[in-house]
């Protein structure tokens, strides 16, 4: 296991795209700071400069090729026979991406602290009570925590789809559509009309993409029709389900 | 070292490997030969636990299954194209799998790759990639090495180098399973030949035995070929003809000489038929096909 | 050149992804038709065909060039073709034709969907000219997307990055552009030319009154700016493609 992990880290850290993605996050954070810095400084800090979505974008770009790259150049054959079993291959890739995800979140915290010291945004007190009757500082950490759940959920989808589809481009497109349009599709198509089935349809996986947003914007609850606790539990369960499905597909796959 | 026992592989409903069994002993170099699509690569993948199969594969008396590769810790392999990450240097590609750095340096030196090993693999030529793939297979002093078409894209110098290296490793007890379509290449190194056709194992023989079975024919030239042909046919001793020669079985050569002498025909030439290795293999494949038709 | 084009069309037609693209377009249009109340606006917007096509065309364009590198067939192209210009522009041309065909198809589907859903409620004579302006705007923007995708693939050489960035532009580019312009009202005269702003051409031609306020560009300006970017991306992309080592 440790050698599988070591190899995955080695490969991840040597790919340019792993270093390019954080730059993208940084750029988007700056852009958000430029546009909202004077109007909603507290919200910006709580959400780490609205980095949730761009982190998902970064994860899609980096994680979707972690499988397809090896499927394409057949390196997967080498990886598989050198590893005790397929589970370890799948699991070490998952751990590596999960740690990458945590690292991205840590970077956004660091960048948020640095940017808050610059004139880019108005001065705010970190200890003053903001949302959920908690200090801004706690708000920020809680948002990161919640966003880790949301992004792990997205990772499980990315893994499942990349094991299903070999084409890198299609994997990226499908995931981007889920991230950027999932919430919209869920609301617009399934929940908006308040029909009899909403009670069941509100549990559809697309609805879970809203988790982070609902935490910092309570008004979302009327769209998702779920409480934050319900969202967390459902997201968690879907994550496990998709990971199992992804692994099952990976196991069955021929190389 | 390696035991393959009665394996079957299905791809969907297609039966691609049919009841194949063979063994590789320590230090043996087994050549696996067959036409394109015969199932050579599939057999290799099966031994590496990359496919679902029935039957038994064991390496050093430990079983390999699709979901347990622990027996493969001392196995190296090069399958299809070398599995190389283009964004890493050659050395980094090796580092990924190496257990001790000295073995890595040795392999690089043995394959004479020092000049380019530190540049990125995406700029490598086909031959350089192939050598890197072979190097990856030879890492960590393996007990058993699988090489699928190892001479692909190598220049003559490298081919000789790789051939010597394989022999060198075999002398120290490493077993090899090598496939190739260039028979002459394998002929020089293999100690056992396995011929595969349409998923069936046709021949599994020590290389010397294999050469012998087909050496039992003699070619015959006399001063009166027509008459000799008639005579031999009557006695049922003529096997076939090739150009001006009549082909006969080794066990009959003395009675044939007597027969010719009695009929006053002079013997001009009687010698073992020289055929090259390639013909032997083609003949084995054809023979099998004919038998199937009957 | 003619031969080149034939070959590109042949490959394109045999790649499943181009066919799937059309199927997905159809499904998404039907989805748009039934998830919202149909009004004259949705009909004019081709039941959302424009926004869906940007997504589809990015994916297809990026794959259509990058697959030659993945399969190493780019080498064959290079030595079989007279020059790199022919290769690049054959690809570009095939993709532009694909966009045009998809658009024609989407108009056809719009006609059917309109009849099915609202019947004779709205008169075609009121809609047709706006609808065709919308199609024209979308077509120009799709060329923008194609040249951008080919440029990005020549720069990043990574399909995932290109599709990711391209989709990011489609989903968030417009709001990013608007946000930046509203924050620096003093510099709008300059910022309105930013590439993220170009996406408004899809709707501006048929709804000029609403969209001029958002894009700050007149119809003529936004067309010229789009064409400028198309030419710029095309030339930049070609020069990067030419330089790229195979």
Judging contacts by C-beta atoms under 8 Å, the chain C residues touching residue A50 are: none
Q: Give the whole-angstrom CA distance, residue B189 versus residue B180.
A: 12
For the segment A95-103, the average pLDDT, to the nearest whole number, is 96
- pLDDT at residue B292, rounded to an integer: 61
Give the Å distances, CA to CA, from A235 to A172, A209, A219, A231, C149. 21, 8, 19, 6, 34
Q: Across the interface, which of C168, C179, C182 has its CB nearest the CB of A57? A: C168
For the segment A106-128, the average pLDDT, to the nearest whole number, is 88
Question: With 70 as the cut, is the pLDDT of residue B8 above it?
Answer: yes
> How far is the alpha carbon of B39 from chain A, nearest alpha carbon, in Å?
15
User: In the predicted model, what is the mean pLDDT of chain C?
Assistant: 87
User: What helix, strand, coil percent values describe chain C, rounded to 5?
Assistant: 85, 0, 15
Please report which confidence band the pLDDT of residue A169 belongs to, taking 50, 70 and 90 as the band edges: confident
Q: Give the whole-angstrom CA distance, residue B4 versus residue A191.
A: 58
Please report which confidence band the pLDDT of residue B123 belongs to, taking 50, 70 and 90 as the band edges: confident
Question: With 90 as the cut, is the pLDDT of residue B69 above it?
Answer: no
For the segment C53-82, the average pLDDT, to the nearest whole number, is 83
Please report which confidence band the pLDDT of residue C180 belongs to, taking 50, 70 and 90 as the band edges: confident
Please report which confidence band the pLDDT of residue A147 belongs to, taking 50, 70 and 90 as the band edges: very high
Q: Do C171 and A60 touch (CB under 8 A)?
A: no
Q: Give the whole-angstrom CA distance, residue B183 versus residue B31.
A: 9
Vertex A179: Cα angle to A176 and A185 (nearest 5):
110
Interface test with A, best of B85, B95, B133, B137 (most A CBs within 10 A): B85
Q: Give the whole-angstrom CA distance, residue B176 versus residue B77.
A: 10
What's the length of chain A? 255
- pLDDT at residue C13, rounded to an integer: 80
Give the Å distances, CA to CA, from A197 to A189, A200, C30, C36. 12, 6, 21, 18
For the segment C155-184, the average pLDDT, to the nearest whole number, is 84
**Dihedral over alpha carbons B17, B18, B22, B24 (to 10 degrees):** 10
Question: With 90 as the cut, is the pLDDT of residue B176 above it?
Answer: yes
Using left for φ > 0, alpha for ψ between -120 and 50, and beta otherwise, residue C47 falls in left
Three-state SS for C165-224 is HHHHHHHHHHHHHHHHHHHCHHHHHHHCCCHHHHHHHHHHCCCHHHHHHHHCCCHHHHHH
Please report which confidence band the pLDDT of residue C220 belongs to, taking 50, 70 and 90 as the band edges: very high
Q: What does the pLDDT look like over C15-49, one tens digit per residue?
A: 888 888 899 899 888 888 877 777 888 888 888 88
Q: What is the pTM of this model?
A: 0.80
- pLDDT at residue C3, rounded to an integer: 75
- Across the A/B interface, how many CB contacts are shorter than 8 Å? 69
Judging contacts by C-beta atoms under 8 Å, the chain A residues touching residue B88 are: 11, 14
Question: Quick check: A72 contacting C, CB < 8 Å?
Answer: yes
Please report which confidence band the pLDDT of residue A97 belongs to, taking 50, 70 and 90 as the band edges: very high
Question: With 70 as the cut, is the pLDDT of residue C230 above it?
Answer: yes
> How far is the alpha carbon of C160 from chain A, nearest alpha carbon, in Å?
5
- pLDDT at residue A121, rounded to an integer: 84
| Residue keyed to tokens 């000295």 | B102
Q: Give the whole-angstrom CA distance, residue A81 versus residue A72.
A: 17
Residues pairing with B75 in the sheet = B144
- pLDDT at residue B1, rounded to an integer: 84
> How far is the alpha carbon of B217 from chain A, nearest alpha carbon, in Å?
45
**Which two tokens mark C217?**
């560009």
> How far is the alpha carbon of B111 from chain A, nearest alpha carbon, in Å?
20
Q: Are strands B29-33 and B175-179 parallel, antiparallel or unpaired?
A: parallel
Q: What does the pLDDT look like over B236-265, one tens digit per residue?
A: 888 777 777 888 887 788 888 888 888 888
Please report which confidence band the pLDDT of residue A194 belongs to, taking 50, 70 and 90 as the band edges: low
Please report which confidence band the pLDDT of residue B276 belongs to, taking 50, 70 and 90 as the band edges: low
What lies within 8 Å, CB to CB, of C196 at 6+ separation is: C169, C173, C174, C176, C177
- pLDDT at residue A103, rounded to an integer: 96
Q: Are strands B200-206 and B245-249 parallel, antiparallel or unpaired?
A: unpaired
Q: Give the whole-angstrom CA distance, residue C53 versus residue C100.
A: 11
Run of H or E residues at C63? helix C49-70
Judging contacts by C-beta atoms under 8 Å, the chain B residues touching residue A73 are: 81, 83-86
Question: Quick check: B68 contacting A, CB < 8 Å?
Answer: yes
Diameter of chain B measured on Cα atoms = 79
- pLDDT at residue C78, rounded to an integer: 77
Q: What does the pLDDT look like over B31-44, one tens digit per residue?
A: 998 888 888 999 99
DSSP string, A97-164: HHHHHHHHHHHHHHHHHHHHTSTTS----SSSB-STTSBHHHHHHHHHHHHHHHHHHHHHHHHHHHHH
Q: Do B69 and A77 touch (CB under 8 A)?
A: no
Q: DSSP assignment, residue B80?
A: S
- pLDDT at residue B115, rounded to an integer: 92
Q: What percentage of chain B reaches a pLDDT higher than 70? A: 94
| Closest residue in C to A21 (Cα–Cα) | C161
- Answer with the residue of higher pLDDT: B12 or A241: A241
- Identify the weakest region by mean pLDDT among A62-71, A110-119, B128-137, B236-245: B236-245
Q: What does the pLDDT look like over A38-54, one tens digit per residue?
A: 788 888 889 999 899 89
Q: What percentage of chain A reaches a pLDDT higher than 90? A: 44
- pLDDT at residue A130, rounded to an integer: 87
- pLDDT at residue B293, rounded to an integer: 57
DSSP three-state, residue B270 = strand
């Amino acid at each position: 296991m440790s050698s599988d992990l070591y190899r995955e880290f080695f490969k991840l850290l040597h790919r340019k795209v792993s270093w390019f993605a954080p730059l993208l996050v940084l750029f988007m954070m700056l852009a958000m700071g430029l546009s909202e810095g004077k109007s909603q400084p507290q919200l910006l800090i709580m959400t780490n400069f609205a980095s949730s979505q761009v982190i998902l974008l970064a994860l899609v770009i980096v994680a979707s090729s972690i499988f397809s790259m090896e499927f394409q150049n057949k390196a997967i054959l080498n990886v598989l026979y050198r590893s005790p079993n397929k589970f370890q291959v799948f699991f070490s890739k998952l751990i590596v991406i999960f740690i990458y995800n945590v690292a991205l979140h840590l970077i956004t915290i660091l960048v948020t602290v640095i940017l808050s010291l610059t004139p880019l945004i108005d001065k705010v007190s970190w200890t003053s009570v903001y949302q959920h009757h908690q200090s801004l500082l706690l708000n920020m950490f809680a948002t990161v925590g919640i966003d880790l759940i949301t992004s792990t959920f997205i990772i499980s989808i990315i893994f499942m789809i990349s094991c299903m589809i070999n084409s890198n481009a299609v994997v990226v497109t499908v995931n981007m559509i889920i991230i950027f349009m999932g919430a919209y599709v869920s609301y617009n198509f399934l929940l908006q009309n308040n029909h009899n089935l909403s009670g069941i349809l509100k549990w559809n996986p697309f609805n879970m993409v809203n988790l982070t947003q609902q935490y910092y914007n309570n008004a979302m609850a009327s769209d998702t029709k779920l409480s934050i606790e319900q969202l967390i539990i459902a997201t968690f369960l879907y994550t496990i389900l998709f990971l199992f499905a992804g692994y099952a597909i990976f196991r069955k796959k021929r190389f | 070292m390696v035991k393959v026992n009665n394996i079957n592989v299905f791809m969907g409903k297609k039966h691609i490997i049919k009841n194949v069994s063979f063994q590789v002993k320590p230090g043996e170099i087994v050549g696996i030969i067959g036409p394109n699509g015969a199932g050579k690569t599939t057999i290799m993948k099966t031994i590496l636990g990359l496919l679902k199969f029935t039957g038994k594969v064991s390496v050093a008396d430990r079983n390999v299954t699709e979901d347990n590769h622990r027996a493969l810790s001392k196995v190296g392999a090069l399958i299809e194209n070398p599995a190389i990450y283009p964004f890493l240097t050659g050395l980094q590609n090796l580092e990924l799998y190496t257990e001790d750095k000295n073995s890595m340096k040795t392999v690089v030196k043995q394959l004479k790759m020092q000049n380019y090993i530190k540049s990125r693999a995406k700029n490598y030529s086909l031959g350089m990639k192939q050598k890197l793939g072979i190097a990856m297979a030879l890492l960590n002093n393996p007990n058993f090495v699988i090489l699928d078409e190892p001479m692909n894209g190598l220049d003559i110098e490298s081919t000789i180098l790789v051939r010597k290296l394989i022999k060198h490793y075999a002398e120290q007890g490493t077993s090899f399973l090598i496939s190739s379509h260039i028979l002459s290449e394998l002929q020089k190194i293999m100690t056992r030949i396995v011929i595969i056709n349409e998923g069936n194992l046709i021949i599994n023989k020590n290389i010397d035995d294999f050469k012998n079975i087909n050496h039992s024919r003699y070619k015959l030239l006399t001063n009166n070929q027509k008459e000799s042909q008639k005579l031999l046919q009557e006695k049922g001793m003529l096997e076939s003809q090739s150009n001006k020669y009549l082909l006969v079985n080794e066990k009959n050569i003395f009675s044939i000489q007597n027969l010719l002498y009695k009929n006053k025909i002079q013997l001009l030439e009687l010698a073992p038929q020289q055929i090259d290795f390639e013909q032997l293999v083609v003949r084995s494949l054809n023979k099998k096909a004919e038998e199937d038709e009957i | 050149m003619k031969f080149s084009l034939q070959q590109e069309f042949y490959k394109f037609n045999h790649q499943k992804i181009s066919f799937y693209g059309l199927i997905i377009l159809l499904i998404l249009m039907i989805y748009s038709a039934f998830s919202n109340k149909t009004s004259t606006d949705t009909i004019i917007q081709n039941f959302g065909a424009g926004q869906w096509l940007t997504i589809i065309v990015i994916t297809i364009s990026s794959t259509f060039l990058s697959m030659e590198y993945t399969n190493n067939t780019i080498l064959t192209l290079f030595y079989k073709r007279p020059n790199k210009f022919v290769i690049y522009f054959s690809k570009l041309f095939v993709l532009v034709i694909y966009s045009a065909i998809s658009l024609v198809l989407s108009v056809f589907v719009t006609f059917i969907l309109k009849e099915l859903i609202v019947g004779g409620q709205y008169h075609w004579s009121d809609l047709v000219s706006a609808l065709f302006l919308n199609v024209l705007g979308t077509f120009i923007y799709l060329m923008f997307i194609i040249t951008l995708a080919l440029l990005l693939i020549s720069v990043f050489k990574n399909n995932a990055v290109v599709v990711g960035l391209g989709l990011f532009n489609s989903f968030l580019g417009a709001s990013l552009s608007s946000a930046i312009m509203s924050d620096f009202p003093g510099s709008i005269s300059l910022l309105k030319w930013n590439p993220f702003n170009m996406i408004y051409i899809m709707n501006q031609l048929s709804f000029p009154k609403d969209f001029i306020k958002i894009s700050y560009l007149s119809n003529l300006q936004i067309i010229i700016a789009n064409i400028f970017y198309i030419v710029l991306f095309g030339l930049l992309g070609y020069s990067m493609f030419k330089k790229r080592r195979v």
